[in-house]
Structure 1
Amino acid sequence: MASDTHAAQAVSSCVDSHGSAVGMPQLCGDWIGNQVFWLVITLVVIFLVLSRIALPRIASVLAERQGTITNDIAAAEDLKRKAEEAEAAYEKALADARAEAQNIAQATRDEIKAELDVALEKADAEIAAKAAESEKAIADIRASALENVETVAKDTAEAIVAALGGKADGAKVAAAVAERMKG
């Protein structure tokens, strides 16, 4: 029976006679030293794992990201500078092209004006020549018409004198018609 009484006796205040924990074992005062020991061991292991493995990896990843970000920012600034230079070159080329276009347009206008002046001079010369020919033709027609008028006037005067019953002298009729034609 001695062994029965020994088994019935509680090993600690945290365990009952059947070996089950009474209440919350974390709060049992008999186990606090053991819990503190394992807590310190666990914290030291976690610290060593974090400081030797995890934190250096995280630091290298952060440093790599920072380097990538810095490189990307530098590349972006370089590309921005190149874009500004390209834009300035484009604006200069555009201004040069506009100036060249204006020069070409002005040269073309001048060339066309010179050709037009030559064509106008040629046309004026042709018109003047045709006008001179026309005036000569008109003068010839007038002279011919005056000769014909004189002939018609002489014939008409002789016919009128003959119709009135007289005899017309050709020389007198010609002199009278010539006098009348002068003015």
Structure 2
Amino acid sequence: MPQFDFLSFPSQIFWLVVTFVALYFIISRFAIPRIGDVMEQRQKMIDDDLERATQLKADTDAAIQTYEKALAEARAKAHEVMKGAQDEMSRKAEERNRDVAEKLAQQIAEGETRISKARDEALASIREVATDAAKAVADKVAGVSIADDKAEAAVAAALKETR
């Protein structure tokens, strides 16, 4: 085997050194700078993406705050509108209740007046009926004819006793 031959060692070492130096020169001048450029580009892209993500997050946070503020304002306005509507409905209900109460009071007063008038008419007609009945009973039972003024006086006395 030629690689184990001691006479060929110096030439093998020479070519080994020449190959390593050439390989080192090619890698250090061409490959490493290109790899460095690619890594720098990747790092720059990553940094740009992170910066853009930070900016987007800040924009999103601002939009969320604006949304929450608008939502709170809308809720407050809706609450005010509902409160106003409730107040208006309460006011209208009170007005209706007041109107109904006034109408009922008026109807009650009218009813009491009608009842009083009917009672007075009934009492007046009761006196007439009682007077006629007393005269008829006295005529039928006792066979006595009573004058109208005496029959009315007797009915009035009887009514005073019952009150």
TM-score by length of structure 2 reads: 0.90
Q: What are structure 2's unaligned runs of at least 5 residues? A: none
Tell me the distance in 2 between the aligned counterparts of 1:83 and 1:36.
66
1:61-109 Cα offsets, whole Å, 9 max, x none, are: 1001100110111111112212222222222222222222221221111
Counterpart residue number, 1:138: 115
Tell me the distance in 2 between the aligned counterparts of 1:57 and 1:29.
41
Counterpart residue number, 1:32: 9
Tell me the distance in 1 between the aligned counterparts of 2:113 and 2:8.
148
**Is it true that 1:57 corresponds to 2:57 in the alignment?**
no
Deviation at 1:152, TM superposition (A): 0.8
Counterpart residue number, 2:64: 87
Tell me the distance in 1 between the aligned counterparts of 2:128 and 2:9.
165
**Is it true that 1:44 corresponds to 2:44 in the alignment?**
no
Deviation at 1:137, TM superposition (A): 1.3
Q: Aligned partner of 1:110: which letter? A: D
Pick aligned residue for 1:156 from 130, 133, 137: 133
Q: What are structure 1's unaligned runs of at least 5 residues? A: 1-23
SS across alignment from 2:144 = coil
1:114-145 Cα offsets, whole Å, 9 max, x none, are: 00111011101110111111111111210111
Pick aligned residue for 2:93 from 101, 108, 116: 116
Larger gyration radius, structure 1 or structure 2 = 1
SS across alignment from 2:145 = coil
Tell me the distance in 2 between the aligned counterparts of 1:78 and 1:28.
69
Counterpart residue number, 2:105: 128
Counterpart residue number, 2:148: 170
Q: Aligned partner of 1:52: which letter? A: R
TM-score by length of structure 1 reads: 0.81
* Structure holding more helix per residue: 2
Tell me the distance in 1 between the aligned counterparts of 2:2 and 2:105.
134
Query: Which structure 1 residue ranges, 4+ long, deviate > 6 Å from structure 2?
Result: none
Q: Aligned partner of 1:117: which letter? A: E
Deviates more, 1:151-160 or 1:84-93: 84-93
1:45-69 Cα offsets, whole Å, 9 max, x none, are: 2122212221111111100110011
Aligned residues: 160
